[in-house]
Structure formats: structure tokens, C-alpha cells
Chain A
Amino acid sequence: MTLHEKTAHELHELLQTKQISSAELTADIFSRVDEAEDKIGAYLTLTRDKAAADAKAVDDKISRGEKIFPLEGIPCAVKDNICTKGIKTTCASKILENFVPPYDATAYKKLAAQNPILIGKANLDEFAMGGSTENSAYHVTRNPHNLERVPGGSSGGSAAAVAGGEAIFALGSDTGGSIRQPASFCGVVGFKPTYGRVSRYGLVAFASSLDQIGPLTRDVTDCALVLNAICGHDEMDSTSTAAQVPDFTKSLVADVKGLKIGLPAEYFVKGIDAEVEAAIRNVAKKFESLGAEIVEVSLPHTEYAISTYYLIAPAEAATNLERYDGVSYGARVDGADVVEMMTNTRTEKFGAEVKRRIMIGNYALSAGYYDAYYLKALKVRTLIQRDFVEAFKTVDLILTPTTPNAAFKLGEMTADPLKMYLQDICTVPVNIAGLPGISVPCGVTGDKLPLGFQLIGKALDEATILRAAFTYEQNL
């Protein structure tokens, strides 16, 4: 196995025991990038010089006999909607084409405190709006398992980088499934923490009540290590929770005896591919054979989740994206007066999907429609959340597919935005309810496309999710 195929915890051992150097590892990743990037297109910006300098500093530390952090010297990718001081952060939008953040996002700052090696900023759907990374204003990203297929999205660049050997782990963001869905499509582990677990400070805002940063990794152990690095309260984000953060590596215990796992009937309805359903039922059997109890549960408002999400998220996006007005940062297209300048700027620099969501959002928020659309969606949000509260009275975790099907072909959905939205059916309820959720690889389809299962946990109970996911992984 070459270095770029290993996990962070394996590489950590090799680094600490001086069997490899971080410089060597970083060079190996960049040679993989040079070979694969033309085909995959995972990155928007590469940070070669910084990576080389940072790797050298780590090697110096190791040669001095010092102990290194779990992620120290390990190559990573960061989604390009997470602000990195002095490194261009575009959100895959022309409107932020030349934006160089004057500060670090808290999640990145916390990660950087462990001295991982930043390989580059990963591609995404513009402003994280999409499920295929085809909405990037710069280029598409392709699925490393099959270059005719999408990697999923919006964290498609992050998932493809990890799956394609162009990074060992990555940070993504998840508003309606944008970490879990690409993780599933690319055969890696993706985790969306409880809303508030990870600071959103410096994450370019899409839908503030739904957005959450999380890891994409090669296995569950690496997932726990990255969560350890990025979780925690931040006074710069008033929605970040003050709840104690446990050491997530303590959850890496291969034992699910006595755990109750719910299977919601509403996730196994028409529209779910037969191969996906069979794979998830097999996962349930596996958990049962390992000592967990599988229980039927009901989440009756699941069928309304897409409508709820596609009103709330665009409404929040319309508000958040008001700031792109050509005044204080970002692109400007001149006009005769200030309103014409703003209109020209936004019309020319936003992509079609971003404009569509801004218009849906402003429509849903406008006088005469507010009650029927936005307020209605907020009330149904309450019902969706209650469904989970009820279900979690009898179970510890909920098991579902991550996606209704495996990775689709490039161009297959671009002409029909609604069809693309319906792809999010299994993941959006989790964001609506603010719960933690993971996607874990569970085999491949007949066409050799990766599949993933989703485990949903109670609020702030990432630990139980990790324990079950780890148990599954250790018993493959």
C-alpha cells in the first residue's frame, strides 16, 4: 500500500517512529495530485509551498524527539467555503474569485493547531448549493471510482480528494447532506456533527440554522481524530454549544451489544434503489448479528422534509447572500448608480443555481407569501424534529440509506433542479432536526459504485454513532 492510500492514524505511527517523514508523505500526495488531478479535479487552489514548509517544520519537531499531535504532518484538504487566512477562499463562485480572507475560520484554526499539512482548497457546488459539484463556477469534480460519475456534493472536492488519494482527510460542510452524500458516493466516511458542535465562524454562510462543518476520512478512527480537533465552543459563534466535548477516540469500541437501532419505514419507500435497500438491510442484519437490537420506528413527516428544507435553506441563503453587493469585498461590475452596480454584480457573478435559490428564498419571505411558505416550513420543521424525539424514546440510533441511489452520471440531473433536490431525501431531515449523522461505506453496486449507510444519533450523542460505526467497520 502506498502512502497516499493509508489512514491518518497509520501514518501518524509511521511519522512518530521516523519510518517516514512528513516531507516524503507530502511529496507522495503531490505526485498523486499531479497524476490524478487532471481527471478528478478535486481542488480549486493548491498550497504547495506552504505544504512543503509546514512538512519541514513537522519533521524538525520529530527529529528533535518531540511527540506529535495525531494529525500533525498529515496531508488534508479543506473545502473552499471555509476561510483560510491569506489563502484564497472562493466558495467556487465568481463573486469571490479573488477573495483572500483576513482571518481563519475557527474550525480550520483549531485543526491547524495540530499542524496537519494543507494540500489545498477543495472544489464544491457554488456556495455549497448542489449535490454533484457540477455547480462550481470553475470546473466539475469527477468521482475517483468512475470518472463518468459525479462525486456528489456539495463537498464533492473534499470527498474526491480523500477517495482519490489526493488528501488523507478533509473538512467539508453539510447543510442538507453535503458531507454525507459525497462520502457515500465516493466510498469514504463523512460526519455531520450536532448543530452547534463545531463553530461556524469563518464558514461562508449558506443557511445559518442548518450549516455545520465536519470531517471526511478513510475510516471511523480518523473521523474521531478530526472531530476531536474541530469540535468545541467558540465565543465568535453564538450558536456554538457550550456542551462538554468528549474524547471521541474513547468511542472507538467494537461493541454494540444492547444497542437499539431503529429502521424507519419511511426511508424504504419508492424512489429508493433496490440495491441500496438490500445493502442497508444487510447492514441491519450485521448489527443484529453483532448484538444490537433492530427496532422498527416511524418518522411520519419524512415525506415533507424536502419541501421544508427547500423553503428554509433558500430563505436563509437569500438573506445571507445579500452581503455580496460589490461594496466591501468580492467582485464588482460597474453601473451608473449604486443599485445598478449591485444588480450588475450579482447578475453576472452568481451562477444559475445560486440565483434560483435566492429568488425562491425571497419569494418565500415576501409579503403575502411569508405565512404560506416560510412560516409553514418552520412549523413543519417542529413536526419533523418531534418525529425524531419520539423515535429516540425507544432507540439509541437510527439506520437509513445515505442516498436513494449510487453516484449518478455527470449531466444526468443538471437540467432538472427539482430532481436533484429529491436526491437529498435521506439527509435533509437530520439538518432540519439539528442532529448528528454519519455516512459509512457498505459495499458497492453491481457497477462497482460505492454505497453508504447513515446512522443518525440523538443531539450531542456523536459518541454512540462512532461506537456503532466503528463496530461495523471492525467486523467487515
Chain B
Amino acid sequence: MKISEQDIKTVASLSRLRIREEEADDVIFQLNKILTYVENLQAIDTTNIEPTTYALPMQNVFRDDKVKPSLERELALSNAPLKEDGYFKVPRVLEEQI
């Protein structure tokens, strides 16, 4: 399965990444090489084989619903690139109504 330039652009956009013009050829070449290699899995018959997400058997893990102290607000905000009045601050999300 060959990955096209358009596919790459879609995946990059989903990943919130931008591919620079000058690196596009190499990025596509390397991704295609890897995706071509992993094609070897298609040769295996996996009919009736259940997928494994975690190697060790695990059921739902419950704990008591007890209130415990959590990270203090100041500490939680201590690594924020931009903050104001105890909140994380981000650029505008919605356009202004005209």
C-alpha cells in the first residue's frame, strides 16, 4: 500500500504537524518504506484470533471512591507556557461574531 502525498498531508494535519516543502520527499519515502515493510503481517491468517491490547490479563481496576488531596493549583500551573488568574491561557479558539 503506497502512501500518497495527500495521505501524508491528511495524517500530518490530524497529528497537528506541518511538513515543510523541502522535507516532504524524504518523509514520504521513509514512511512508505516502513509501511511497505509492515505489509508482511498481511500474510498471516488471523481469522478467529482475538486482538491483545495488554499482555497481562487485566480486568477493570477499581478503588474506593475517597476524596484525597490533589496537586495544588499553583503547582499544576507551574509549567504552563501562559496562565492568568489561575487558568491556562490559549489563543482565541472561536471567531468573533460580526
Binding site for B on A (CB under 8 A): 98-100, 102-103, 194-196, 209, 235, 238-239, 241, 301, 303-304, 306-308, 310-311, 318, 325-332, 334-344, 346-347, 350, 355-356, 358-360, 362-363, 366, 372-373, 375-383, 385, 417-418, 421, 432-435, 459
Residues 25-83 (chain B) with a chain A CB within 8 angstroms: 27, 30-31, 33-35, 37-42, 44, 46, 49-56, 58, 61, 63, 71, 75-76, 78-82
State in angstroms the CA–CA spacing of A428 and B62 once bound together.
Answer: 31
The reply to whether B55 and A195 form a contact with Cβ atoms under 8 Å apart is yes
What 7 A-B pairs have minimum CB-CB distances, sorted nearest first?
A434-B55, A378-B51, A329-B79, A332-B81, A379-B46, A307-B38, A238-B61
Picked from B8, B46, B61, the residue with its CB within 8 Å of the CB of A380 is: B46
4 additional A-B pairs beyond A346-B15, A379-B51, beta carbons within 8 Å, are: A329-B79, A376-B41, A381-B55, A417-B30
State in angstroms the CA–CA spacing of A435 and B82 once bound together.
Answer: 43
| Chain B residues within 8 Å of chain A by Cβ, number | 50
Specify which chain A residues have a CB less than 8 angstroms from the CB of B54 in the assembled complex.
195, 209, 239, 434
Residue in chain A with minimal CB distance to B12: A359
The reply to whether A343 and B35 form a contact with Cβ atoms under 8 Å apart is no
The reply to whether B16 and A343 form a contact with Cβ atoms under 8 Å apart is yes
B82 to chain A, nearest CB (A): 7
The reply to whether B11 and A336 form a contact with Cβ atoms under 8 Å apart is no
The reply to whether B52 and A382 form a contact with Cβ atoms under 8 Å apart is yes
State in angstroms the CA–CA spacing of A315 and B40 once bound together.
Answer: 18
Picked from A196, A328, A340, A378, the residue with its CB within 8 Å of the CB of B80 is: A328
State in angstroms the CA–CA spacing of A304 and B35 once bound together.
Answer: 13
CB-defined interface of B79-98 with A at 8 Å, one 1/0 digit per residue?
A: 11110000010111100000
The reply to whether A342 and B16 form a contact with Cβ atoms under 8 Å apart is yes
Specify which chain A residues have a CB less than 8 angstroms from the CB of B3 in the assembled complex.
363
State in angstroms the CA–CA spacing of A103 and B70 once bound together.
Answer: 11
The reply to whether B50 and A382 form a contact with Cβ atoms under 8 Å apart is yes
Binding site for A on B (CB under 8 A): 1, 3, 7-8, 10-12, 14-18, 27, 30-31, 33-35, 37-42, 44, 46, 49-56, 58, 61, 63, 71, 75-76, 78-82, 88, 90-93
Contacts between chains A and B (CB distance < 8 A), count = 162
State in angstroms the CA–CA spacing of A362 and B17 once bound together.
Answer: 11
Given A327-B90, A343-B18, A359-B17, verify A209-B41 contact (CB < 8 Å). no
The reply to whether A327 and B18 form a contact with Cβ atoms under 8 Å apart is no
Given A363-B7, A373-B38, verify A328-B88 contact (CB < 8 Å). yes
Specify which chain B residues have a CB less than 8 angstroms from the CB of A335 in the assembled complex.
91
Picked from A100, A344, A350, the residue with its CB within 8 Å of the CB of B79 is: A100
A413 to chain B, nearest CB (A): 13
Picked from B16, B46, B56, B75, the residue with its CB within 8 Å of the CB of A339 is: B16
Residue in chain B with minimal CB distance to A361: B15
Specify which chain B residues have a CB less than 8 angstroms from the CB of A434 in the assembled complex.
54-56
State in angstroms the CA–CA spacing of A241 and B82 once bound together.
Answer: 38
State in angstroms the CA–CA spacing of A37 and B46 once bound together.
Answer: 50
Residue in chain A with minimal CB distance to B46: A379
Residue in chain B with minimal CB distance to A306: B37
Residue in chain B with minimal CB distance to A383: B49
State in angstroms the CA–CA spacing of A310 and B55 once bound together.
Answer: 16
State in angstroms the CA–CA spacing of A308 and B46 once bound together.
Answer: 13
B15 to chain A, nearest CB (A): 5
Specify which chain A residues have a CB less than 8 angstroms from the CB of B27 in the assembled complex.
356, 359
Picked from B34, B42, B53, B93, the residue with its CB within 8 Å of the CB of A310 is: B34
B95 to chain A, nearest CB (A): 8
The reply to whether B55 and A328 form a contact with Cβ atoms under 8 Å apart is no
B37 to chain A, nearest CB (A): 6
